C-alpha cells in the first residue's frame, strides 16, 4: 500500500514538476522575445555621459535613477513604460533639455554599478551622440544667411563645430558660413540641436554609431600618409612646373595665362616670389590699369 502510494506520488511529482517547468519555460521564452523588442533606444533619446555601449548598458544599468537625481538640470529622466526607451533606464532628449556638460559629471559619480563608466573624468571625452546637419535645405547657413547659432552655443566651441567658408553661387559675390561637425570633438551634448533657431532643428544629435561613417581600412590618403611620414612616400616631392611659352605663367587663381611682369626674371624668379605682383607697388601703378 505504502509502495503504491509512493509510486503515484513520484509520478505526480514528475508530472507537476514538468508542468510547472514548461509553463515557466514558455513564459521565459516570451520574456526573452519581449526583451528583444523592448530593449533599446529610439534615435532621439540619448544616454547620459559615460554610458557603456547599449548592449552592455542594458546589463549593467539597474534602473535606480540615481543619475537622474544627481543631474542638476532637468535633463535626465527614467524611461516610463510606453516611452519607447528600455523601461527604467535614463535618457535625455536634446531638443527638450540637452546635457549641460558639468565639469564634475555628477550623473556618472552617482551611478552605483558603473553602467555610466567612472573612467570618464573629462566631460569633453564623453560621446553621448554625434551632431549632424540633417537638413541642408532648411539650415539657413546653406541659404547664405548668417546664423552660426549652433557654432556659438557649442561647449567645445570652434572644435566640435567649425564654420567653413564656401562660395555663394546664387549671389556670386558672398560667402556661405557652413557649419561642419567634427566627430573627434563633438560630445553629443545636444546644445546645438536645442539652440537651432528653426521650427524643426536642422542639426540633430543622434547616437554616434547611427551617424558616423567609416572608410574601408584599405584607403590611404596620400597627403595624410605624407604628414605621418614627414615626406612623400614614393618619389621625392618636387615642385610642379608647367611648360609655358616664355614670359607667361598661370595666375594664382587658375583663371588663365597672365603675361610676364616687367621685372620678371623668368620662371626661377617667379618661383622665388610669393606673388605675381611686383614687390614694388609703383610697378603696378605705372602699368595704368593693368590687372
Q: Which residues bind another protein (CB under 8 A)?
A: 16, 20-21, 23-25, 27-28, 31-32, 34-36, 38-39, 55-56, 58-66, 68-70, 77-83, 86-88, 110-115, 118
Q: How far is the CB of 88 from another protein (least distance, A)?
A: 6
Nearer to another protein (CB atom), residue 69 or residue 159: 69
Q: How far is the CB of 80 from another protein (least distance, A)?
A: 3
Closest CA to 148 of 190, 185, 177: 177
CB atoms within 10 A of CB 154: 23
Report phi then psi at 137, rounded to 5.
Answer: -75, -35
The CA distance from 139 to 197, in Å, is: 9
Spatial contact of 143 and 137, defined as CB atoms under 8 Å apart: no
Shortest CB 5 distance to another protein, Å: 17
Looking at beta carbons only, is 56 or 167 nearer to another protein? 56
Kind plus residue range of the DSSP H or E element containing 249: strand 248-250
- Whichever of 107 and 147 has its CB closer to another protein, that residue is 107
Minimum distance from CB of 188 to another protein (Å)?
23
CA-CA distance, 201 to 210, in Å (whole number)?
18
Nearest distance in Å: CB 57, another protein: 9
Smallest separation (angstroms) from another protein to the CB of 35: 4
Give the burial class of 279: count Cβ atoms within 10 A of its Cβ; 0-12 exposed, 13-18 middle, 19 or more buried.
exposed
Q: Which is nearer to another protein, 56 or 146 (CB)?
A: 56
Q: 92: which 3 cell numbers?
A: 535625455
Of 36 and 255, CB closest to another protein: 36
DSSP string, 158-213: TTSEEEEEEEETTTSSEEEEEEEE-TTT-----HHHHH--SSS-SEEEE-HHHH--
Whether residue 86 contacts residue 78, with contact meaning beta carbons closer than 8 Å, is answered with no
Shorter beta-carbon distance to another protein: residue 54 or 267: 54
Amino acid at each position: 500500500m505504502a509502495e503504491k502510494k509512493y509510486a503515484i506520488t513520484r509520478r505526480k511529482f514528475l508530472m507537476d514538476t514538468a508542468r510547472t517547468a514548461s509553463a515557466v519555460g514558455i513564459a521565459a521564452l516570451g520574456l526573452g522575445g519581449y526583451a528583444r523588442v523592448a530593449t533599446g533606444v529610439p534615435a532621439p533619446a540619448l544616454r547620459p555621459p559615460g554610458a557603456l555601449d547599449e548592449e552592455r548598458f542594458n546589463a549593467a544599468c539597474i534602473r535606480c535613477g540615481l543619475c537622474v537625481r544627481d543631474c542638476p538640470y532637468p535633463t535626465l529622466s527614467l524611461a516610463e513604460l510606453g516611452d519607447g526607451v528600455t523601461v527604467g533606464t535614463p535618457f535625455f532628449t536634446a531638443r527638450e533639455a540637452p546635457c549641460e556638460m558639468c565639469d564634475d559629471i555628477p550623473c556618472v559619480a552617482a551611478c552605483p554599478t558603473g553602467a555610466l563608466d567612472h573612467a570618464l573624468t573629462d566631460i569633453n571625452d564623453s560621446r553621448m551622440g554625434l551632431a549632424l546637419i540633417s537638413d541642408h535645405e532648411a539650415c539657413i547657413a546653406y541659404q547664405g544667411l548668417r546664423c552660426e547659432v549652433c557654432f556659438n552655443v557649442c561647449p567645445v566651441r570652434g572644435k566640435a563645430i567649425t564654420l567653413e567658408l564656401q562660395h555663394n553661387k546664387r549671389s556670386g559675390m558672398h560667402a556661405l558660413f557652413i557649419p561642419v561637425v567634427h566627430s573627434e570633438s563633438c560630445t553629443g551634448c545636444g546644445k546645438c540641436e536645442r539652440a537651432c533657431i528653426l521650427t524643426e532643428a536642422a542639426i540633430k544629435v543622434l547616437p554616434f554609431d547611427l551617424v558616423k561613417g567609416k572608410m574601408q581600412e584599405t584607403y590611404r590618403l596620400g597627403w595624410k600618409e605624407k604628414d605621418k611620414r614627414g615626406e612623400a612616400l614614393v618619389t621625392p616631392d618636387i615642385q610642379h612646373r608647367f611648360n609655358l611659352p616664355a614670359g607667361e605663367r598661370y595666375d594664382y587663381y587658375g583663371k588663365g595665362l597672365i603675361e610676364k611682369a616687367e621685372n620678371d626674371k623668368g620662371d626661377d624668379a617667379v618661383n622665388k616670389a610669393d606673388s605675381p605682383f611686383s614687390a614694388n607697388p609703383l610697378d603696378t601703378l605705372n602699368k595704368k590699369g593693368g590687372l
